[in-house]
Amino acid sequence: MRYLLLQEGTGLQFVALPESHMYQLVALLKRLHKEIDKLTIADRPDLPHVVAECANLELLSNVYMIMDGLVYVSQLEARFASLQESEYPLISLLTEIRALQAQLEYLHEEE
């Protein structure tokens, strides 16, 4: 497993993913950051900033929890699926999110 440290607003999130899929999540988040300003809706979703990626993580505080990668990607998909965007082709972003989501669901089924 690999762990991704994300900063969203003033909070931190820790997301656990298999090493084989970490690059995809990081690339997806970078693409979303690049495309978010192209959305024409007023209420754009807040996106976290990638702070770090590591192989080992030991949380020493009960304030934070490690979120499963599939749960995180599913929440991301729900945020983008609920957008009422009419100008920007949002379907391309949703397709990328859903592709990673499907891969992670398959991994969970295999375990």
Confidence check: pLDDT of 105 > 90: yes
pLDDT of residue 43: 84
Q: Rg of the Cα trace of the chain?
A: 14
Give the CA dihedral 75, 99, 1, 32, nearest 10 degrees: -60
Q: How many Å apart are CA 37 and CA 24, to the nearest integer?
A: 21
Instruction: Read off the pLDDT band of 99 (50, 70, 90).
Output: very high
Confidence of residue 39 (pLDDT cuts 50, 70, 90): confident
Give yes or no for residue 87 having a pLDDT over 80.
no
Q: What is the pLDDT of residues 61-82, one digit of tens each?
A: 889 999 999 999 999 999 999 9
Higher pLDDT, 88 or 92: 92
Q: How far apart are CA 9 and CA 71, in angstroms?
A: 19
